[in-house]
Amino acid sequence: MQIVVLFTFLSGILFSFCLAKPAKSYTNKYDNVNIDEILNSDRLLKNYMNCLLDKGRCTPDGAELKKNLPEALEDDCSKCSEYQRNRGAKALKYLIEHKRSYYDQLERKYDPERKYRKRYEASFKREGINL
């Protein structure tokens, strides 16, 4: 049930600032999940992180996120809604400011060459996100 929260949080991590209109959209089935509840719960956040980092089991929504994340990173989150991008930006900023080790682990797994970081660094700075 919480896939969109984490999906938007991670797909938006690197692509929340891309405003391309999606040709096909990711599901909005989980858009009603309270992202603040996830980000402020060490237990929930850790469970999602373990799933994404291959350190633990995935819930069905976590598995969906894990499946879609590489594509979202590669195609500038073109299938994300603006709402999902905004939630992703919020999650990105939270991870960088409050859970930096989580962000670093995700970056090592999903952007080991830092090509996405380089691609979106200027967008991050405009949004006040300092990597």
The predicted-structure confidence for 91-106, as pLDDT tens digits, reads as follows 889 999 999 999 999 9
pTM of the model: 0.77
What integer is the mean pLDDT of 56-60? 88
Fold of 3-126: Antennal chemosensory protein a6 (1.10.2080)
Do 27 and 56 touch, CB atoms closer than 8 A?
A: no
Q: Render pLDDT for 1-53 as a digit per residue (tens, 0 to 9).
A: 554 444 445 555 544 444 444 458 888 887 887 889 989 999 999 998 999 99
